[in-house]
Structure 1
Amino acid sequence: MSRLKAVFWVEALIRRAESGLAAAYVIRRGDEDAGAVLVKVVQSRTDCVLYVPVRDELGERLWIRFRKGEADEPTVDAYCRERCDDDPDLWLVEIEDRQGRHFLTEPVEEL
């Protein structure tokens, strides 16, 4: 099964967010072909959620929340920095949306 290039997937996510009147930014560009993507959703100055990709038993991508409860933004940012330091191919996308929408089309496991 061929997978969509990361750069196209990120561009589509940003378009979905912007069409929903949210702001979306590429904070860090990764590998254009196969880089993994972290999606940070900022709802307010104190509320943010990080979505991390994982693969299910069939190899399909789904998303899980970083930490089960709410994580403060400094904790999320520290985790993102660690992941970016470990993986030079990693993308980081930030979405600012007062409603807290993530605009992901793949399944999201809300823990």
Structure 2
Amino acid sequence: MRLKSSIWVAAYLRRCQTEGVFGAVRRRGAEEAGAVFVKIALLDGNAMLYAPAPQTVYDDTRPIERIFAPTAPQPVPEQAVEDRLAKEIRFDPDVWIVEIEDRAGRHFLDLARP
């Protein structure tokens, strides 16, 4: 059983804060199990977006983890990320959006392995 999305987001933001990185919830989704998208704003007009990884990459022995995958291999213009987020909200109004600001692009997420 996974943590509620609200608890995971709070813990994630605390982790970022501990590392000296600013982060905030831009959109609250479903308390229990809303999908979480993390935007990393690089503060130069570009950004990275991390989405929930497909279920096929999860390890059955560790079902509580949340694993993320970048939506693009390199940073893209922030507007492209905002367009993608708007599509995600239309598709699933229960999504969470967390925004992190870090010039170095640090995200502190568990990423899916290719």
User: What is the TM-score with the length of structure 2 in the denominator?
Assistant: 0.85
Residue number among 57, 61, 68 corresponding to 1:63 in the alignment: 68
Q: What amino acid maps onto 2:88 in structure 1?
A: R
**CA shift in 2, pair 1:57/1:5, >3 Å:** closer
Moved over 6 A (4+): none
List alignment gaps of at least 5 residues for structure 2: none
- Residue number in structure 1 paired with 2:32: 33
> 2 CA distance for matches of 1:4 and 1:85?
25
Indicate if the aligned counterparts of 2:48 and 2:74 stay in contact, CA closer than 8 A: no
Matched ranges for 1:27-106 at <5 A = 27-54=26-53, 55=55, 56=57, 58=59, 61-104=66-109, 106=110
SS in 1 for 2:97: strand
User: What is the TM-score with the length of structure 1 in the denominator?
Assistant: 0.87
SS in 1 for 2:86: helix
Bigger mean CA deviation after superposition, 43-52 or 78-87: 43-52
**CA shift in 2, pair 1:69/1:14, >3 Å:** same
Indicate if the aligned counterparts of 1:65 and 1:110 stay in contact, CA closer than 8 A: no
Q: What amino acid maps onto 1:47 in structure 2?
A: N
Bigger mean CA deviation after superposition, 57-66 or 89-98: 57-66
Bigger mean CA deviation after superposition, 17-26 or 51-60: 51-60
List alignment gaps of at least 5 residues for structure 1: none
Bigger mean CA deviation after superposition, 51-60 or 68-77: 51-60
SS in 1 for 2:98: strand
SS in 2 for 1:4: coil
Identity percentage of aligned residues: 37
> 2 CA distance for matches of 1:4 and 1:29?
16
Indicate if the aligned counterparts of 2:39 and 2:50 stay in contact, CA closer than 8 A: yes
